[in-house]
Structure 1
Amino acid sequence: VLPLFPTETFELLMRHAENHTNAVLQGLHHSMADQAAGPVRELFTDISLFLLGSELSVDELVQRFFDALFPVVYNHLINPGPGEISPGYAECVRSSRRDVRPFGGAPGLLADQIARSGVSGKLLLQALHLGIEVINTTDHLQLSRECRRALLKMHYCPHCQGLTQSKPCMGYCLNVMRGCLASMAEIDAHWREFVRSLEGLSARMQGPQDLEQVLLGVHALLRDAVGHAQKSGPRLSAQVHKLCGTPSRKPTQLVSIQLSRSSSSTDSIALKAPVRPLGDSLAVRRRDFLSSMRHYRTYYGGLADQLCVSELVFGDGQSCWNGTDIVKSYTLRVVGNGIKAQSGNPEVKVKDADPVINQIIDKLKHINQLLQGKSIPKLGSLDQIETGSGDVEGRYSGDCDDEDGCGGSGGGDVKRKVSRVSKMSTDTLTR
């Protein structure tokens, strides 16, 4: 079967980066780590949504994170006192953050890093989802009536003459299978380009475009940002006092209760979010995945030939079935792969390309242009790129009409787990 890159790798990376950021804050600034965990969680949640195709502004989500962080830093590191600042005062401190700039250039730097690396990460996720759709679509492609008749004739008509051990001639088999899989062969050039384009994107995912490096480096940038605020403490305290007045704080009794809860909650975070090795890095998994994909870059163009060579025919020099009799060799013309080559196919009449395959090809063309960095009009969101065109059961209609009992091709959910690429080729590929 074709290899699949585990998209769960992105989820693991996101959780690991969040845990690592929380752990570093606990080590450096234990008093504020618990209250900072909420903004940190929201930051990584927003980044995940951005990567999954949400129209979130990277700059705004980063600014929102630092807005939420400033009251925590102010209360614990810049102007600590015998209690928590009141919610109203905390909101004033939050609103002042963009004016007093306590974290220096950190917000802009983080937004730039996420935007740069996020573009590549988002494209990779889009490409992986589309790869799954291509596999699922071709896996459930329904054969045309002409193809089913040709397969019946090739496999079972010899049995009517008592030739139960016969196998089709190579040329005969190629004509039948190339006719049946003509639409699928049209994917070949675009699938090859898809694999090449994925390799190109992977090569570019280094340095500032390496999502893993950026996310696992958030803790370092955040450490420097908080350190910058501490060094600027007197200036920030004066500016906030000018904008918000004297800090108002909660009663001591409530503070002690909250601190007790905070300590318990902080211990809980430490237990739930230990820093553990991520295992193979995203780069290593990406490299291994692409290495496997290279073995299947010619899959769609050579599927018919592979089936005939590996499964269906006798070796050279043996008598074989030509569709009507047992002969020494097949004498009719053998056509090539693809729709255009089928006009002279003596065994299978092929009409037009399958419309569902045409939709898949259009999506491959689009994602290939995106992967190659070409400037093209936007074709909608990730959901539109990855949505399949099959019916609710995941079947897809090929060269099929009312006489075949086929329905139309409506929108259906793409299956996320793929066990095989073609029912006819499972054994062949796993040998």
Structure 2
Amino acid sequence: MSQLYSMQDVLQNNGLNGSFKLVSEMGTSQPNWDYVESLCCLSVKNVSYTVSEHVGPWWDLPSFRKKWTRQILNRVSFHVDSGQIMGILGNSGSGKTTLLDAVAGRIGNSGKLLGEVFVNGRKLKAEQFQDCFSYVLQSDNLLSYLTVEETLTYTAQLALRKHSSEAIRKKVTAVMAELSLGHVAHSVIGGRIFPGISGGERRRVSIASQLLQDPKVILLDEPTTGLDSMTTNQIVVLLAELARRDRIVIVTIHHTFLAYIIHILPFSIISVFIFTSFLYWTVGMNPDPVRFVCFSAVVMVPHIVGELLTLVLLGVVQDPNMVNSGVALLNIAGIMVGSGFLRSFKQMPVVFQWLSYLTFQKYGCELLIVTEFYGLNFTCTPLAGLPGSCLMDSGNMIIDQGYPGALSRYTQDFLLLYAFLPALVILGIISFKIRDHLVRR
């Protein structure tokens, strides 16, 4: 957990100018303004944390004397400047929350903690940790029967006791405006018994309760966990906006696009090859290793396109159920228009012929047919009394009959098929940009 990675491109891809750092593998009292008001940097050096437990109960002396020791953090160091957002990426149990607790001074005496935390180059003492950091827990500990405005007002009255009622009211109004909560100010939080505000709005209320004290360092434990892609994108953009306003934002992240690429995408590719291996050789298709690789490469695209198309639609439609139904309908329409299985290209109306060029199924089906039948010769014995019963004596004739010109377009079809992947990524970014613009308005 001691490696530090730059993620500047992550924010630039979202139209953000702040900087983002990523550490891989891995208190809310009134601030002490002597440390926080002029904050410009936060440094953490060589933080290590080890826990030990007895193997057995106290009455079993032989096992009780043995201890099980685990090192959760191992010499973790990082530096963050004001105006930056840093993400701590790791799987469950990798120590993300423990690192936040160590930085915030929330770790008790259950283990051995080593390391130093510096604010503006000055080492913090044990009693100064909670005065310098605001901590947003992963679980939203909000009262279901209170409205958003009541929740923030009561929190402000507890945290800002020296302020007047008018100052507290203005502060609550300003924080709700900053986090776009004005439209749900009089809505109840809600819970399991009765509905209330959405999950993303609940998370913003939790963040707002910490912003009441104007913190310069905000720690958030998995603020995007449990949220859909669109809401997650809105929370990330919100945190970047908070960092822009001369704050330091540190978050732990469990599910990210980077995590998808590193942890999920390779297994998706492997699963596709396992599926195609079983299908290809069991069905008894052309026993050529090169053709098998081409077949697997073609099948890979619909698998990834389905996920990317879901993300694109989530930027337009907020309901995940509608998005799943829409993706299924688009795939069915693409098969009917572009595959050529139900109706050949020549027999379709001109409008549908043009629409077929916009479907990845058209290029995928042409590639699969050519891969299987190219260069094959068939042995056919004409039946007595049935002249012309052997109409197809080669695979090339099947290709020309169903997909005229596909033999000459093999490489072109491959390029066009894989062009759908970056095109959907770009389209997804555009859809979320438009969505964010509409939400902000």
| Coarse TM-score class (shorter-chain normalised) | under 0.3
Give 1 or 2: higher helix fraction. Answer: 1
TM-score in terms of structure 1 length: 0.25
TM-score in terms of structure 2 length: 0.25
Give 1 or 2: higher strand fraction. Answer: 2
Higher relative contact order (CA 8 A, sep 6+): 1
